[in-house]
Structure 1
């Protein structure tokens, strides 16, 4: 019920997921056919996250917390073997949401991290509400970006470069892998294209300083949902 506290869990269809949130961090354990995860996501002192309430009307809203650039360590076990997850070359993003979505909604989401810098960028679903979910993080400190951003990408070739721009954001995203998820049950359906890749460009802090984002690793996605 509260971001950063308590347990969230699910069991069904051969899948078990437990997310335990503590004052000093979050643990994630998951088991599914062919895969097992055991990860710890510490919460560094002074680390900040972005919480936004997006209003669609007096009785409909979505509250989201995007917690980007967290360290993570642990292991992933696949049928091919066990792999270590190290804080030196990995990062975690926690996404907490509460509210009631419209029946049909489309969003963009991008996040990247590396070397004490992280970005959180969103679009479409917040357009026209007066709120955004855009932020730059430098050494764990949040610099809120209130502008709506322009997203440019090729829906016929998702692996072409993406551009995300605004008065404080000049970002290009270069994908190296596309993950596609589709569900079509008539009234209910979804389609998500999530591309993983490298960022280049820059973003501006609250005091006007431009921060280099070259080399950040993460993803950019488009999701269309009917629910």
Structure 2
């Protein structure tokens, strides 16, 4: 079972920064989950929101900044003064730092402005030998379908919040045609849901776990747990 650090060890350091990623690495995480978007000048940066306001000292949409402008922003002080000066990373920098020791679970943000993101991410991963340690995911099945058609050798995942504790067969057919995993909100999980996914050839991740009791309960049920606290996952479990 994979321990997956949600935006890095984001319970301990500002999300989607090297501070959070390094702590996750020290905690022997298997995968670092992160979010990617394109800048105004076409660089792939690691940030969750479509605007920089919540996690930096700047204001505005990511798509309206050049890389140089984004890298002047402080992405750490909002979390704590000891993280002042943390920057928004490039996906390429993250790959260089951790490949191939730690895999990445890369979320493609589905904003309408992110035209060409699938191709850009796939081309970058190709420079790192399409390691099986890296997985590309999205809430948007259309985005994953686009990515999968261009880069079928790269594992993919659909992020989902299933209604009524189950998938329809139509959903499962759509998912398994383009993805290897379903990443399910943990509060919607049940054994029937997990079983139906696996019967259709899909492995199951659970997001986002923030307490040890839930982590312990899920460890024997799923193939990976996305958590802000990677040290909550027992490696013996």
Query: TM-score, normalization: structure 2?
Result: 0.27
Q: Which structure has the highest helix share of the two?
A: 2
Q: Which structure has the highest strand share of the two?
A: 1
Query: TM-score, normalization: structure 1?
Result: 0.28
The structure whose RCO (Cα within 8 Å, separation 6+) is larger is 2
